[in-house]
Amino acid sequence: MTQQSVIFFDIDGTLLNHHKELPQTTKEAIFRLKEAGHVVAIATGRAPFMFEDLRKELDIHTYVSYNGQFVVLNGEVVYTNPLNISSLVHLTESALHNNHPVVFMDHEDMKANVPEHSYIKESLGTLKLDSLPAHDPHFYKERELYQTLLFCPEGEETQYEREYQDFDFVRWHPVSVDILPKGGSKAKGIAQIVNQLGFPPERQYAFGDGLNDIEMLETVTNSVAMGNGDNRVKKVAKYVTKSVDENGIYHGLQMVGLL
């Protein structure tokens, strides 16, 4: 058997193609990794409830969700990093005044602060979720939130970036931005897992394609950018594989010697 490694996979544009489908070659590759004794994990900006079906299909129980703010190892929560609620309330009030809706998210659900909005439908619709978030402007009360979505056109988030130093803002859609705790990232979430499992850097791998993958790919020793990834992502990765639609995961795992 080859030496055991841990491999982290982003979801959208990495495991799933642009139709939100799991290519058959990707599924086969994941199970071959597991059969060889490797640890397969997910590192995503999605909430845990947004990829439960995928975890079941791939039999994966270790994951970094919310871009590093909610981390699970072998089915057990090992790290959380919630948002500053006081700052979030002020931001939400400002955003409401600017007609920029927000969606509050904990580990189990998400709720919007407005009854409906075209930006919410447009952006979350691309994730092909079963339903859009219901309206609950007070969802932030008496619970920990690990991410909030701010909906605004490109460039309009700069006013919030200047004012709210407790947060990082990462755009994932032309009309939507992730709001994260300052300094939170997939890389820090991954560190929580590899430190507990004891994998040395040379046996850590990560695959990604989006801007929220940059720090992960800069940090993980064996980093692989998808061929369909942003050019800024490709520049920081050690390797660049084919597109997700061209069996990119399978090809990339062969490239780094894991298959």
CA distance 169 to 210: 14
pLDDT tens, residue order, the chain (259 aa): 468 999 999 999 999 999 999 999 999 999 999 999 999 999 999 999 999 999 999 999 999 999 999 999 999 999 999 999 999 999 999 999 999 999 999 999 999 999 999 999 999 999 888 889 999 999 999 899 999 999 999 999 999 999 999 999 988 899 999 999 999 999 999 999 999 999 999 999 999 999 899 999 999 999 999 999 999 999 999 999 999 999 999 999 999 999 9
The pLDDT assigned to 170 comes to: 87
Q: What is the rounded (10 degree) CA torsion for 101, 102, 103, 105?
A: 180
Residue 59 falls in the annotated catalytic set: no
Report d(CA 4, CA 37) in Å as an integer: 6
pLDDT at 202: 96
Q: Give the length of the chain.
A: 259
Q: What is the CATH number of domain 6-80+184-255?
A: 3.40.50.1000
Q: Are 238 and 218 in contact (CB under 8 A)?
A: no
Domain extents for the chain? 6-80+184-255, 85-181
Please report the DSSP string for 15-76 in residue order. TB-TTS---HHHHHHHHHHHHTT-EEEEE-SS-GGGSHHHHHHHT---EEEGGGTEEEETTE
Nearest to 145 by CA among 78, 80, 50: 80
Tell me, what's the pLDDT at 3?
86
Instruction: Write the burial class of residue 55 (CB in 10 Å: 0-12 exposed, 13-18 middle, 19+ buried).
Output: middle
pLDDT at 129: 86
> pLDDT at position 1, please?
43
Residue 254 CB contacts under 8 Å (≥ 6 apart), including other chains: none
CATH for 85-181? 3.30.1240.10
